[in-house]
Amino acid sequence: LLLTADGLPTLEAPVLASSSLGGQKTASTFVLDQPRCVFTNVSKDTVIWLVVADPRAVPDFDNSVEPGGPGREFQQFLNSTFAYMTLNTTILNYPCPKNPGDITVLRVGSETRCAKDKKRPTCNGPLPGPGPYQVKFLALDGSKPVAQTAWSEPITLSTAQPSGNIPVPGSGHSAGMIALTSILSILFTILLAGLVAML
């Protein structure tokens, strides 16, 4: 547990969910573990926000800027703003310890409906490129920051391959396939010749 220059406790950084779940990173989303058992000394009505940032915004990030306010809109991300806040929920939704069998992950970038809706500046919209991105969780009591995690390591998304580079099954012809085709063609010709001779 560390204290930052602004006096906030800084907790363990977010991490990507296990790759065994599948879809850990796509071209516009990634999956994080929920911050279970991280914010243990905050009140029950504390709201936990996820901050998604371009690494350029990390050194000077201001925790006091209102979520969704000027400079924090998802719709302006990587244009006029380099960080936004999303996926807000109360600490009650991150119980500790987690129940066995619970899938305790968050998919960042999964909402497409609000991606262009300026009335939803805290939209969890698709990420605009491969990144890298850095994330942290920020706890707000009303509008007052009370705790935060450290920033994650940079996260780079998967990139789509050009369609011309994707191998298509059966598009290549092996030497064995060519030989088999040739033999079958010869046998068919012999069989056809035999039938003509019989007629």
- Give the model's pLDDT for residue 115: 92
Q: Closest Cα partner for 140 from 114, 122, 117?
A: 122
**CATH number for the domain harbouring residue 35:** 2.60.40.10
Q: Is residue 106 part of a domain?
A: yes
Q: Is residue 174 part of a domain?
A: no
Query: Average model confidence (pLDDT) for the chain?
Result: 86
Q: How far apart are CA 155 and CA 162, in angstroms?
A: 22
Q: Is residue 187 part of a domain?
A: no
pLDDT, tens digit (0-9, with 9 covering 90-100), for 38-74 = 998 888 889 999 999 999 999 999 999 999 999 899 9
pLDDT, tens digit (0-9, with 9 covering 90-100), for 18-44 = 877 778 899 999 999 999 989 988 888
- Give the model's pLDDT for residue 109: 94
Selection from 2-16, 152-166, 180-194 with the highest mean pLDDT: 180-194
Q: Is residue 188 part of a domain?
A: no
Q: What percent of the chain has pLDDT over 70?
A: 89
Q: What percent of the chain has pLDDT over 90?
A: 55
User: Residue 165 above 70 pLDDT?
Assistant: no
| Residue 63 domain boundaries | 1-159
Q: Is residue 165 part of a domain?
A: no
Q: Is residue 178 part of a domain?
A: no
pLDDT, tens digit (0-9, with 9 covering 90-100), for 130-160 = 989 999 999 999 889 999 999 999 999 988 6
User: Residue 170 above 70 pLDDT?
Assistant: no
Q: Is residue 189 part of a domain?
A: no
Q: How far apart are CA 76 and CA 83, in angstroms?
A: 9
Domain count, the chain: 1
User: Residue 196 above 90 pLDDT?
Assistant: no
- Give the model's pLDDT for residue 48: 94
User: Residue 162 above 70 pLDDT?
Assistant: no
pTM above 0.85, yes or no: no
User: Residue 119 above 70 pLDDT?
Assistant: yes
